Chain A
Amino acid sequence: MSTRRALRRLPLHLAATVTVVVCLFPVYWMITTAFTPNRDIQSAHPRLLPRTWTLDHFRRAVDADGFGLFWRNSLLVTLGTVVLALLVALGASFAVARMRWRGRRQFMLAVFVAQMAPWESLIIPVYIIARDTDMLDRLPTLTLVYFMMTLPFTIVVLRGFLSTIPPELEESAQLDGCTRLSAFRHVALPLLAPGLMATSLFGYITAWNEFAYANFLIIKQQDHRTLPVWLSSFHNVFGTDWGATMAASTLFSLPALVVFLLLQRHVTSGFAAGAVKG
Chain B
Amino acid sequence: MSVVRERAVRHRPLVPPPRRPPGPARRTTMAGVWPYLLIAPAVLGMLYLLVYPLARAVLISFQDFGLRQLILGDAHVVGFANYRTLLTDPRFWTVVRRTFLFMAVNVVLIMVLSTLVALMIERLGRRWRTAVLSALVLAWAMPVVAATTVFQWLFHSRFGIVNHALTGLGFTSFKDYPWLAHGPAAFAILVALVVWQSVPFAAITLYSALTTVPCDLYEAARLDGASGARIFRSVTLPIVRPLFMLVLSLEVIWTFKAFVQIWVMTRGGPGDATTILPVYAVQTALSQQRYDLGSAASMLTVLLMSGVLVLYFRQMFRQEAEL
Contacts and interface: CB of A to CB of B under 8 A. Distances in A.
A249 B41 contact: no
B27 A22 contact: no
Contacts of B54: 117, 122, 125
Given A12-B120, A125-B57, A147-B45, A246 B150 contact: yes
Question: Which applies to chain B's interface (DSSP): helix, strand, loop or mixed?
Answer: helix
A53 interface: no
A19 B57 contact: no
A136 to B, nearest CB: 12
B49 interface: yes
A150 B295 CA distance: 23
Given A107-B39, A171-B26, A26 B154 contact: yes
Contact of B149 (A216, A245, A272): A245
Contacts, number: 298
B31 A99 contact: yes
B264 A271 contact: no
B36 interface: yes
Question: Which applies to chain A's interface (DSSP): helix, strand, loop or mixed?
Answer: helix
A267 B137 contact: yes
A26 B278 contact: no
A73 B313 CA distance: 37
A278 B135 CA distance: 26
Contact of B135 (A23, A113, A272): A23
B145 A211 contact: yes
Contacts of A276: 243, 246, 319
- Residue of B8, B294, B316 ringed by the most chain A CB atoms within 10 A: B316
A121 B278 contact: yes
A86 to B, nearest CB: 12
Contact of A26 (B123, B151, B263): B151
A147 B278 CA distance: 22
Contacts of A192: none
Interface string A14-31: 011001101110110110
Given A20-B132, A231-B149, A252-B146, A271 B201 contact: yes
Given A171-B26, A259-B141, A124 B128 contact: no
A27 B143 CA distance: 11
A179 interface: yes
B171 interface: no
A182 interface: no
A232 B137 CA distance: 23
- In the A-B complex, list the 6 residue pairs whose CB atoms are closest, starting with the nearest: A260-B141, A121-B298, A125-B56, A95-B38, A23-B135, A272-B208
Interface of A: 12-13, 15-16, 19-20, 22-24, 26-27, 29-30, 33, 41-46, 87-89, 91-92, 94-96, 98-104, 106-114, 116-129, 131, 144-145, 147-148, 151, 155, 167-168, 171, 174-175, 177, 179-180, 205, 208-209, 211-212, 215-216, 228, 231-232, 235, 242, 245-246, 249, 252-253, 256-257, 259-261, 264, 267-269, 271-272, 275-278
